[in-house]
Chains A and B, each alone.
Chain A
């Protein structure tokens, strides 16, 4: 599926799902878009099948859930292994996300949630056992998301 394959209805659906993946029912999206709910359901199926929507996630405030130590660990992976090591880092308990950057140094940013300092040390050690060079750890104060504005525009406007 390419850009040509995404039309206004697809973008409207993506926007609704980014804004509230759990609460926005197909029926409500359909009403707003003036199409039938079954059309919306079919479109969502297609967006999932084509890998445009890759999942639905609750955004959790880990601090409020009792985990005060949220840390971003900057790691360097050899470029040929970057992608694979990034996937393997995701399996380390405590890791909640991995960003792969197009850079030579500090090209994997690993976000972790730890119970305490010992737990953080365990996670950093696991990452380094995978073959990542851990260069920096920074406390995360918070992270905020918003739906992408590009999905909220009619076709042709920018």
Chain B
């Protein structure tokens, strides 16, 4: 799928799925956009197989779930290794996301969740063992997402 293949209908579908990935049915999206639900299902299948949609996730308030520590670890990896390391980092127990930055000294931002410091320390240790430098760790007070405005048909 090339960029030009994502049209207004696709964008409207992406917007709906960014607003509520679980409770909006394909038929409801179809009604909003003015096309059949079966067309929406086909479009979603295509967006998924082309990797435009990577997955669907629930946003969880970790603090309310009993895991009050969410730390952002600013790490440095050698540029050629960076991409390869991501699956390995995601596999560390407690890690919930990895962000790769193109430039800058800290080029991997790892988010880890735990009940206490003793959950976070081993994560930092494993990152070190992978050859990463952990330059800083900062408590994340909140992380809020919003649907991308350009997908909004209105």
CB pair B96–A21 under 8 Å, yes or no, is: no
A146 to B22, CA, bound (A): 17
CB pair A150–B114 under 8 Å, yes or no, is: yes
Question: What residues of chain B lie closer than 8 Å to A57, measured between beta carbons?
Answer: 17-18, 21, 56-59, 145
Main secondary structure of the interface of B (DSSP, over half): mixed
CB pair B113–A148 under 8 Å, yes or no, is: yes
Given the known interface contacts A3-B66, A60-B14, A97-B145, the answer about A20 and B150 at a Cβ–Cβ threshold of 8 Å is no
* Interface residue ranges of B18-61 to A (CB < 8 Å): 18, 20-23, 50-61
A156 to B140, CA, bound (A): 26
A140 to B91, CA, bound (A): 21
Residue among B66, B90, B148 making CB contact with A62, cutoff 8 Å: B148
Given the known interface contacts A21-B21, A72-B99, A141-B100, the answer about A53 and B140 at a Cβ–Cβ threshold of 8 Å is no
CB pair A56–B144 under 8 Å, yes or no, is: no
Given the known interface contacts A18-B60, A148-B60, the answer about A66 and B145 at a Cβ–Cβ threshold of 8 Å is no
CB pair A59–B53 under 8 Å, yes or no, is: yes
Question: What residues of chain A lie closer than 8 Å to B94, measured between beta carbons?
Answer: 148-150
Question: What residues of chain B lie closer than 8 Å to A17, measured between beta carbons?
Answer: 22, 57-58
Question: What residues of chain B lie closer than 8 Å to A67, measured between beta carbons?
Answer: 148, 150
CB pair B100–A158 under 8 Å, yes or no, is: no
* Interface residue ranges of A109-141 to B (CB < 8 Å): 109, 113, 115, 136, 138-141
A86 to B83, CA, bound (A): 30
* Interface residue ranges of B111-154 to A (CB < 8 Å): 113-115, 119, 138-151
A54 to B51, CA, bound (A): 25
Residue among A58, A60, A72 making CB contact with B101, cutoff 8 Å: A72
Question: A67: shortest Cβ distance to chain B, in Å?
Answer: 7
Q: Does A23 contact B (CB under 8 A)?
A: yes
CB pair B143–A99 under 8 Å, yes or no, is: yes
CB pair B97–A144 under 8 Å, yes or no, is: yes
| B-contact bits for A67-85, CB 8 A (1 contact / 0 none) | 1000010000000001100
Given the known interface contacts A1-B64, A64-B52, A94-B149, the answer about A145 and B57 at a Cβ–Cβ threshold of 8 Å is yes
Question: What residues of chain A lie closer than 8 Å to B139, measured between beta carbons?
Answer: 101-102
A95 to B124, CA, bound (A): 29
Q: Does B1 contact A (CB under 8 A)?
A: yes
Question: What residues of chain A lie closer than 8 Å to B21, measured between beta carbons?
Answer: 21-22, 56-58
A-B pairs with lowest CB-CB distance, top 3: A3-B66, A66-B3, A58-B17
* Chain A residues near B (Cβ < 8 Å): 1-3, 6, 14, 17-23, 50-62, 64-67, 72, 82-83, 86-87, 90-91, 93-103, 109, 113, 115, 136, 138-151, 158
